[in-house]
């Protein structure tokens, strides 16, 4: 920390800060008022992504000082407690999928490389995490063992499909981005059909995905081992895995495999020893579905003395609601199992409603829906409450948990609030999709932070990209989340993290319709800051 001993030096700092406010305009910040002999000063840079068009713009530099004339007055306050450390953070990331590989594959090599650098390069978002699918997902249908009859020996196992569909190349190219460093979580949507009771990837007629047959628990465990070993031989180390994506199912709408808490517990009892036997130190994240139902699985699995030692934590999604973060569930989970991490492994802007996208009507173009997302390059749309999700079309409680929402708000809120409530990592779904929200073989079109048009070699970095980039760049793996208190109007959210380089990043999300002046305090130091309406602001405080 810089110490100022002479009054003239302190006055100069105050004059420079005030001049910065005049030059930088709206969204800029000003230091807390302090006399010349106030002593310690700590500088901070402020970054802004907003409805007004800011895209991780550096909006100013401020000074946190120790006031001698009493605390500054403002309509809100954000207090960071540097001595109250919470969870170690694993970072932010996005998923490398076959759909993303296909969308990127239609771009020029220059544009494709640009996108990967924007996500994984240290001058881009610097993603520290990623996720990929083990065989099928709702964006692609395939298996690593197509044997029509039972193949318990896995003689037909091969990851050749991932070489052919571009997924493996996408992952290795992302790893090859200069300065890239990220860890991968792998999740299967289903076992090969011959391991399941319905012998299908999914069954919309019966509204089910099918269940893993008990006599194939060991087969599927060895399938995981074969996958991890094959990927390692191809130059890709998988850091962690989940037993199955969304074990509660999806009504048979696309690839899935139901597993009750007891079934997942029993499968982990088999999977864990198989991984250990193969000398694969791959952490297992259980559950991998929506937060509200997480306790049903953690009680059974973490409470089991055989299965629990093989598990590292819980994977969760956000699809229970378009606006709720489920802080109460996350807090209760940490309270019960403080040694188990919670990592958000999937969230996306899904469905966007039949009315807006024609998704439900247009299964096989042409049928009047060739351009369902006519607004896909409209920055303003992502900041307005015009998006809908699956619940808007089908859930009985759509007005309660699934109202229309602003996509940028949903991302910012989940990242900022989730970090403050024990999320140890946050992974987005597809890193890239085409302008239709695919390709997708079951018409489950979604949005991604980067949308592309292969026909015109166009890349559009949506506001979602800059929201995630701003959090990722300033919340580095190995950092420690700090307890943060917020006083102010509803819609003002904050969290803070001490990064490995000693900087402290304070993320402030204002979803309100008005600017909010707040005082950010840390120890005895403070500064007055203005958070623009509809914005994500990050105050990066220099190390001591």
Question: What mean pLDDT comes out for the span 109-138?
Answer: 97
Q: Is it the case that residue 17 has pLDDT exceeding 70?
A: no
- Cα three-residue angle 363-367-373, rounded to 5 degrees: 75
pLDDT in tens, 246-258: 999 988 889 999 9
Per-residue burial over 150-182, b = 16 or more CB atoms within 10 Å of its CB, e = otherwise = ebeebeebebebbeebbbbbbbebbbebeebeb
Residue 30 has a pLDDT of: 39
pTM more than 0.75? yes
Per DSSP bridges, beta strands 129-133 and 92-95 are parallel
Domain 88-473 class in CATH:
alpha beta
Q: Is it the case that residue 34 has pLDDT exceeding 80?
A: no
Question: What mean pLDDT comes out for the span 297-306?
Answer: 98
Region for 76 from its dihedrals, namely left if φ exceeds 0, alpha if ψ lies in -120 to 50, beta otherwise? beta
Per DSSP bridges, beta strands 341-346 and 446-447 are unpaired
Residue 373 has a pLDDT of: 64
Residue 28 has a pLDDT of: 43
pLDDT in tens, 211-225: 999 999 999 999 999
Question: Are the C-beta atoms of residues 489 and 516 closer than 8 Å to each other?
Answer: yes
pLDDT in tens, 432-454: 999 989 999 888 889 999 999 99
Q: Is it the case that residue 414 has pLDDT exceeding 70?
A: yes
**What is the Cα–Cα distance from 187 to 184, expressed in whole angstroms?**
10
Q: Is it the case that residue 270 has pLDDT exceeding 60?
A: yes
Residue 392 has a pLDDT of: 87
**What is the Cα–Cα distance from 333 to 423, expressed in whole angstroms?**
11
Question: What mean pLDDT comes out for the span 515-531?
Answer: 96
Residue 351 confidence class, pLDDT cut points 50, 70, 90: confident
Per DSSP bridges, beta strands 29-31 and 525-531 are antiparallel
Average pLDDT, the chain: 90
Strand partners, 507: 495, 538
Residue 375 has a pLDDT of: 72
Residue 271 has a pLDDT of: 98
**What is the Cα–Cα distance from 89 to 329, expressed in whole angstroms?**
19
Q: Which of 179, 26, 6 has the alpha carbon at shortest distance from 531?
A: 26
> Which of 12-26, 383-397, 470-484 has the least mean pLDDT?
12-26
Residue 107 has a pLDDT of: 98
Question: What mean pLDDT comes out for the span 69-91?
Answer: 90
Q: Is it the case that residue 355 has pLDDT exceeding 80?
A: no
Q: Is it the case that residue 4 has pLDDT exceeding 50?
A: no
Q: Give the largest CA-CA distance in the chain.
A: 84
Residue 360 confidence class, pLDDT cut points 50, 70, 90: very low
Residue 72 has a pLDDT of: 66
Residue 263 confidence class, pLDDT cut points 50, 70, 90: very high
> Which of 60-74, 78-92, 149-163, 334-348 has the least mean pLDDT?
60-74
Question: Are the C-beta atoms of residues 537 and 46 closer than 8 Å to each other?
Answer: yes
pLDDT in tens, 140-179: 889 999 987 889 999 999 999 999 999 999 999 999 999 9
Task: Give the residue extent of every domain in the chain.
Answer: 1-28+56-66, 88-473
Question: Are the C-beta atoms of residues 191 and 220 closer than 8 Å to each other?
Answer: yes
């Amino acid at each position: 920390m810089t110490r100022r001993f002479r009054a003239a030096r302190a006055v100069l700092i105050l004059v420079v800060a005030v001049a910065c406010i005049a030059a930088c305009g709206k969204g800029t910040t000003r230091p807390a008022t302090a006399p010349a002999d106030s002593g310690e000063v700590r500088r901070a840079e402020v970054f802004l992504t907003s409805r007004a068009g800011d895209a991780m713009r550096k909006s100013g530099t401020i000074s946190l000082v120790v006031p001698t004339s009493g605390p500054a007055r403002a309509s809100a306050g954000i207090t960071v407690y540097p001595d109250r450390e919470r969870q170690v953070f694993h970072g932010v990331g996005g998923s490398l999928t076959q759909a993303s590989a296909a969308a990127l594959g239609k771009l020029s090599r220059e544009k494709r490389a640009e996108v990967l650098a924007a996500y994984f390069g240290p001058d881009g978002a610097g993603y520290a995490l990623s996720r990929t699918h083990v065989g099928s997902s709702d964006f692609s249908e395939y298996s690593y063992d197509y044997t029509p009859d039972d193949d318990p020996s896995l003689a037909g196992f091969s990851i050749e499909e991932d070489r052919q569909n571009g997924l493996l190349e996408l992952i290795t190219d992302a790893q090859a981005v200069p300065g890239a460093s990220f860890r991968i979580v792998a999740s299967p949507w289903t076992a090969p059909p011959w391991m399941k009771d319905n012998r299908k990837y999914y069954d919309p007629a019966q509204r089910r995905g099918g269940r893993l047959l008990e006599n194939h628990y060991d087969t599927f465990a060895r399938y995981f081992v074969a996958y991890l070993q094959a990927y390692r031989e191809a130059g890709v180390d998988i850091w962690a895995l989940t037993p199955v994506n969304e074990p509660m199912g999806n009504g048979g709408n696309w690839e899935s495999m139901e597993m009750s808490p007891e079934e997942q517990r029993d499968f982990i009892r088999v999977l864990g020893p198989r991984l250990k036997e193969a000398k694969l130190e791959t952490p297992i994240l259980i559950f991998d579905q929506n937060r509200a139902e997480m306790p049903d699985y953690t009680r059974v699995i973490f409470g089991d003395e055989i299965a629990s030692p093989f598990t590292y934590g819980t994977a969760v999604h956000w699809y229970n609601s378009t606006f709720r973060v489920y802080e109460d569930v996350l807090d209760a989970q940490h309270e019960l199992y403080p040694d188990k991490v919670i990592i958000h492994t999937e969230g996306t802007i899904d469905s966007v409603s039949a009315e807006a996208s024609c998704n439900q009507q247009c299964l096989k173009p042409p049928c009047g829906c060739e351009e369902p997302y006519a607004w896909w390059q409209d920055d303003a749309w992502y900041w307005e409450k015009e998006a809908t999700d699956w619940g808007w079309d089908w859930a009985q409680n759509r007005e309660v948990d699934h109202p229309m929402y602003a996509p940028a708000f949903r991302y910012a809120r989940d990242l900022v609030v989730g970090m403050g409530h024990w999320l140890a990592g946050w992974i987005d779904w597809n890193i890239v999709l085409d302008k239709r929200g695919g390709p997708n073989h079951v018409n489950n079109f979604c949005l991604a932070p980067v949308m592309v048009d292969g026909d015109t070699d166009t890349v559009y970095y949506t506001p979602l990209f800059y929201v995630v980039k701003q959090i990722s760049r300033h919340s580095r793996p190995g950092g420690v989340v700090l307890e943060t208190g917020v006083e102010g109007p509803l819609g003002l959210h904050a969290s803070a993290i001490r990064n490995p380089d000693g900087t402290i990043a304070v993320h402030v999300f204002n979803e309100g319709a008005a600017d909010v002046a707040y005082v950010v305090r840390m120890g005895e130091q403070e500064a007055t800051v203005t958070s623009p309406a509809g914005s994500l602001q990050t105050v990066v405080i220099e190390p001591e």
